[in-house]
Every structure is written in C-alpha cells, then in structure tokens.
Amino acid sequence: MSDEEDFVPAMKSRRVYYGSLEEKERERLRSEMAGGGVARTDALKAGIKAGHINFSSGETLEIEERVSERQQDALAAFERRRRARQITVSTDDAEVKAGLRALGEPITLFGEGPADRRERLRNILSVVGPDALKKSRRDEERSRRSQEECRQTWYHEGASTLKDARLWMAKYSLPRAVKRLEIARIQKDVSGATKAMRQQELYKSLRNLNNFCSQIGDDRPISFCHFSPDSKMLATASWSGLCKLWSVPDCNLIRTLRGHSTSVGAVVFRPQAGISLEQGDVNLASCAADGSVKLWNLESDEPVADIEGHSERVSRVSWHPSGRFLGTASYDHSWRLWDLEVQEEILHQEGHSKGVHDIHFHPDGSLAATGGLDAFGRVWDLRTGRCVVFLEGHLKEIYSINFSPNGHHLATGSGDNTCKVWELRNRRCLYTVPAHQNLVSAVRFQPTDGHFLLTGAYDNTAKVWSQPGWTPLKTLAGHEGKVMGVDVSPDGKLIATSSYDRTFKLWLSE
C-alpha cells in the first residue's frame, strides 16, 4: 500500500492526514480542504440563522487534530528515510567498518555484505545525526593526545646530593644483580623433574592453607599489613589513625603507634628491622591521608621524625632494599625519594597524569616501579633517573605494584578486577590474570623465590596463584568486608590479610 493510500481522511475527526506526498499533491489537498471548510462554514451559519443549531453566546467548537500513534511512527520513519538519503557515506568498505567501530556498533553482522553494511551505517547516522561520526573521531583524537601526554615525563632539578645518591645506588645494586643472576644460573641447571617435584610440594601446601588466627585490629577498617623482616611481628595500619604492632603467630598486641590524626594508608618495616637494627633506630615508616609521613622506632609509641613535602594524600611508602632511602607515593601526581642519611628529599619525580597510588623497589635496588590512578605504571631507573618501562594495558586505576624476587617479573593490581604480570626483559604484558570480581587492592609475590602470587580484592577474598601458569591454587575466604591489604612473611610460612571488617587474619598451611 502506498503512502498516499495509507493516509486517508479520518472518519471521526473529519480531517485529512497525509504523509509521503509530493508538494503539489499536498497543496491540492490543502485547497480542497480550505474550500470544503468554507462550504461547511456557510452551512453552519444558515443552520444557526434558521434556529436549528444553538450555541451559547461567545462559544465556538474547535475540532482538534489527532494523529494516531501508527501515523506518527510512519511520519518519523519517512523523516528518517529522507535524512538517510541526504547523508553521504563512503563506498570504501574499510572506512565504513571504521565508522561503525567509532560509533560503537558491530563492524559486521552475520551474512552482511559491503552494501548492506553501508546502508546500516547510513541508517544509524540518520538516527544519531551525521555529526556523530565526526564527534566520535574527535573524541578518539582527544583520547590519543591524552595518552601521549600520559607518556610524557617531567623532571625536577634534584638536590646536590642526588648525583652522589645515584652513584651509591649503582654501586649497591650491581653486586646484588650479579648474585641474583648466579642463583638463576644454578636454578637453571636443576633438572626439570626436581623442579616439578618441588613445585608440586609447594602447591600442595598452598592448597591446604587455612585460617590460623583472626584478630579484631581496630575500631575502623584495617587498610594495610606488613610482616617484619624476621617474620616475628606484623604491623597494621587503620583508618582510625593508629598503627599497631602484633606478635606472630599468637597475634598479641605489642605496641600502639600514635601520631597520625587521619586515615593511615600504609605502615612498613625497614629492611633489617628486628635483625641488625637496634630498637632505638628507625624501624618503621607510615603515611596518611593528610600528606604526612612519620618514622618510628620499636621503643616508643610516638614518632621519632616527621617527613614533610607532599601537599596531598600519601597512599603508600616503601623502603629501598638498602634501608637508606624511603619512597613515598602521593596523590599530588608525584613520588619522592628521601635520603635518611642526609635527612632530606633528594628526588621529586612527576610522570603520572593523576595521583600515584603505590611504589615498590626492585630487589637489586636499581629500579622503582609506580602505579597511578591514570591506569598506567612506570618503571624508573634510579641510577639514571629515566623512565625505562611504560606499563600500558589496564583499563582502570592501578592500586598495587610488586616486583618478583626473580628481578624480571612485575605484578600490578587494578580497579578493572585484573592482575597483570609484566615481563621487564622485553617490556610487555606476560599474562593477564582475571583475578577477582571487584577491585584488586593488593598484589604480592612470594618473597623468597616468587613461586606464587597473592592477590587481595574488594570481593572479600584473597587468592593464591601459581607461577608459572598463573592458575588459582587457593581462595582465602572468611572476611566479611573488602580485603584491603595482603602480605607474605619473609620466611614464606604465613600469609596475612587485612580487611574493611576491622580484622586481620593469618593463614597457615596445615
């Protein structure tokens, strides 16, 4: 049925509705309707004069135009077809596919040919508007420029002691790298059967992990936990502003560290704390949401020193393996390096377009890795100051970053619910672990040889993953709130998890 036949005069309203008519036909209908209207008006006046039709004074009856829903849809469809005919679409199938991709549409459908695909793009543009494709391309260009800006690095002029510190770190890291490579060569000579047997024993032990101890740590969520180097203490940080030291494995409170006035993001033991350091020396460092960083010993409940410099939240602190330098990550888009020997800031490094959430040092002491809220990670060479690896691949913020003891693997946990393992030797993502159903808050490699990976997330669980293979070995379930921090004891025997439910738990293999 044609459009002219479809739009016929409505019987009740005595009006004529028409849709897809040529302009001349429309004018003819308007004239006929106007003529008919005059005749009806004359007949109406004659009826009133004869007294057959009565109206109250000053009142007239107007017949409203009413178009059915079916007719409105047909008019809209006609208008879309008219707009579609006026839209110019490229005949190049590659450009058509690119246009569909830019609009978020499937580039091809089952059984669809180039002509059908071109017509589909034309119909989509008739609905969203021909400028939508240009806008989408502008957004892509803007996004590309933004990513290029994220790759840029800004350098601040360092203190006079920075050069000396870089030389010191080079001399410190090179012998450690040589030692690490020697161990790797020895491990390479071990037979495959022996390696497989050791792995099977380790994995069997990890599958038998169970909750050994559960302790209420504070009145507010426990944001972080960290084992001491001798595996005899556990430090916890809380949103109440308190840091606490607990004995391991009986979880008795040793000391409460009071000094922060707001949420504490992290508290970490200094290397050699409890081993070669005296209790009166600086043994711990902590950071808080007000930008403060404090240093602690094991004799007092009060901080022994305050580190000032960041203007916004300091989310994480990390000690250099030497124990001489302290790294801090802040939401002021920078991370900083502090030299405790000269007691000053020696490096203020920018490079992330948003806040820096986590920082970790390479086991050799030669590199530092940072993860930011811009979804990118960076690896910095402390000996030269250059950004040597740019980690691009996460879809959301990076909340945790951790080097493997093997020196060439790096793990990152993100708000996109995944954990990525990066191969630093060829600068690429080695594997993406679909780790959790919510934000991944913490990642940790086994500190002895990196034979397993531990992740914690906001889905209330922590998980243990094999390395290599990255298969799940054990899910540590038991917390009633988000898992905010995880750690593995240096001796590899205990796992600690801290949670939003105000508790921390110790996990031990039976």
For residue 352, give the nearest of 382, 383, 331 by alpha carbon. Answer: 331
pLDDT in tens, the chain (510 residues): 444 444 444 444 444 444 444 455 556 545 655 555 556 667 767 766 776 666 555 555 444 445 567 777 777 777 767 766 667 777 788 888 888 878 778 878 888 888 888 888 877 877 777 677 666 666 666 655 655 555 555 566 666 788 888 999 999 999 999 999 998 888 888 888 888 888 888 888 888 888 888 989 889 999 999 999 988 999 999 999 999 999 988 889 999 999 888 999 999 999 988 888 888 899 999 999 988 999 999 888 898 988 888 889 999 999 999 999 999 999 988 899 999 888 888 888 887 888 899 999 999 999 999 998 989 999 999 998 888 999 988 899 999 999 999 888 999 999 999 999 999 988 899 989 888 899 999 999 988 888 889 999 999 999 999 888 888 898 999 899 999 999 999 988 899 999 999 999 999 876
Structure token digits, residue 293: 């960083």
Q: How far apart are CA 280 and CA 339, in angstroms?
A: 19
Query: Residue for token digits 């950004």?
Result: 387
Peptide bond into 249 cis (omega under 30): yes
Strand partners, 313: none
Q: How far apart are CA 387 and CA 186, in angstroms?
A: 31
pLDDT at 13: 42
Question: Of all helices (H) and strands (E), which one includes residue 464?
Answer: strand 461-466
Question: Beta-carbon neighbour count of residue 426 at 10 Å?
Answer: 8
Q: How far apart are CA 104 and CA 98, in angstroms?
A: 10
Question: Beta-carbon neighbour count of residue 6 at 10 Å?
Answer: 14
Provide CB contacts within 8 A for 482, sequence distance 6+. 221, 438, 441, 457, 458, 459, 460, 499, 500
Structure token digits, residue 81: 């077809």
Q: In degrees rounded to 5, what are phi and psi of residue 336?
A: -130, 155
Structure token digits, residue 475: 């899910």
Domains in the chain, start-ordered, CATH in brackets? 3-48+68-135 (no CATH), 161-509 (2.130.10.10)
Among positive and negative, which fits the CA dihedral 405, 406, 407, 411? negative
Question: Beta-carbon neighbour count of residue 343 at 10 Å?
Answer: 9
Among positive and negative, which fits the CA dihedral 410, 411, 414, 416? positive
For residue 454, give the nearest of 196, 202, 187, 206 by alpha carbon. Answer: 206
For residue 457, give the nearest of 477, 433, 440 by alpha carbon. Answer: 440
Three-state DSSP at 260 gives coil
Q: How far apart are CA 332 and CA 485, in angstroms?
A: 23
Structure token digits, residue 113: 């040919």
What is the C-alpha radius of gyration for the chain, rounded to an integer number of angstroms?
35
Question: Of all helices (H) and strands (E), which one includes residue 216?
Answer: strand 209-216
- 15 secondary structure, DSSP code: B
Residue-wise pLDDT tens digits, 246-300:
998 888 999 999 988 899 999 999 998 888 888 889 999 999 998 899 999 988 8
Distance of CA 431 to the CA centre of its chain: 17
pTM confidence score: 0.70
Provide CB contacts within 8 A for 330, sequence distance 6+. 291, 310, 311, 312, 313, 314, 315, 336, 355, 356
Contact 291, 330 (CB under 8 A): yes
Contact 337, 344 (CB under 8 A): no
By CB neighbour count within 10 A (0-12 exposed, 13-18 middle, 19+ buried), where does 399 fall? buried
User: Residues for the chain: how many in total?
Assistant: 510
Structure token digits, residue 235: 């430090």
Three-class HEC string of 265-321: EEEEECCCCCCCCCCCCCCEEEEECCCCEEEECCCCCCCCEEECCCCCCEEEEEECC
Q: How far apart are CA 342 and CA 510, in angstroms?
A: 47
Provide CB contacts within 8 A for 269, sequence distance 6+. 226, 227, 228, 229, 233, 235, 283, 284, 319
pLDDT at 27: 61
The separation between the first and the last C-alpha atoms of the chain, rounded to the nearest angstrom, is 80
Strand 503-509 relative to strand 398-403, pairing: unpaired
Strand partners, 474: 464
